[in-house]
Chains A and B, each alone.
Chain A
Amino acid sequence: SAVISQKPSRDICQRGTSLTIQCQVDSQVTMMFWYRQQPGQSLTLIATANQGSEATYESGFVIDKFPISRPNLTFSTLTVSNMSPEDSSIYLCSVVRDNEQFFGPGTRLTVL
């Protein structure tokens, strides 16, 4: 299994500001994933983060809005930039181990 922690667990932010979400895994992984779950919706992949290279973004997501860092094999951050109320979602970090995908507890973001 994989133990994943995220910080913060929740936050309320003002529009126009930015929030950085941290994801820590209990052991080294090659790829880390960031998902978004909008209210009442399913999960959508934002990007895949490999250590030492630029993140790969899915259609509809751009680096300027969701910059990602991956400084080592156990840690990643996702920043939600210039926030608007439409960014209110749960953001989840995920890793794959032994062909199984594990998810962090999520960060619940509310933008006013």
Chain B
Amino acid sequence: AQSVTQPDIHITVSEGASLELRCNYSYGATPYLFWYVQSPGQGLQLLLKYFSGDTLVQGIKGFEAEFKRSQSSFNLRKPSVHWSDAAEYFCAVKSGGYNKLIFGAGTRLAVHP
């Protein structure tokens, strides 16, 4: 069965520090992968997605993610975190022919000034 694992429930970083949020997936075929952000009281916003091609994808707000098939991972990175990045981050996977999204448990990011 398809699944998504986000090993880190909660991460705290200092403003200006680099960030990496981990995501591992379990899926038989080539997955469609997504990262979403949910700010307090806000809806879900898509940060970036991977379908095929270049394994390093750029997203909004300065985020990027790298698809590594050998590690079944799709980690999210940002070189310098801003206080406004404090939010919940969800990794998700979708099968190619079916639009159901399977979400990870989420990682809550706190940013210290």
21 A-B pairs within 8 Å (CB atoms) are namely A31-B99, A33-B99, A33-B100, A33-B101, A41-B105, A42-B104, A42-B106, A43-B90, A43-B101, A45-B100, A48-B100, A92-B43, A92-B44, A99-B49, A99-B51, A100-B49, A102-B46, A103-B36, A103-B44, A105-B43, A106-B43
CA distance A94 to B99 in the complex (A): 10
CA distance A102 to B34 in the complex (A): 12
The reply to whether the CB of A96 lies closer than 8 angstroms to some CB of chain B is yes
CB-CB under 8 A from B105, the residues of chain A are 41-42
A101–B103 touching, CB < 8 Å? no
- Of B34, B43, B104, the most chain A CB neighbours within 10 A belong to B43
Chain A interface, number of residues (Cβ within 8 angstroms): 20
Contact among A101, A104, A105, A106 with B101 in the assembled complex (CB-CB below 8 Å): A101
* Min C-beta distance of A100 to chain B, whole Å: 6
* Min C-beta distance of A68 to chain B, whole Å: 15
Interface residues of A in 24-43 (CB under 8 A from B): 31, 33, 41-43
Q: Is the interface of B mostly helix, strand, loop or mixed?
A: strand
- Of A41, A48, A94, A101, the most chain B CB neighbours within 10 A belong to A101
The interface of chain B, by Cβ under 8 A from chain A, is: 32, 34, 36, 42-44, 46, 49, 51, 90, 94, 99-106
Q: Mark A77-112, 1 if CB is under 8 A from B, else 0.
A: 000000000000000101010011111111000000
CB-CB under 8 A from B32, the residues of chain A are 99
CA distance A10 to B103 in the complex (A): 23
A100-B44 CB under 8 A given contacts A42-B103, A43-B90: no
Interface residues of A in 42-72 (CB under 8 A from B): 42-45, 48, 58
- Of B42, B90, B100, B106, the most chain A CB neighbours within 10 A belong to B100
* Min C-beta distance of A24 to chain B, whole Å: 14
CB-CB under 8 A from A92, the residues of chain B are 43-44
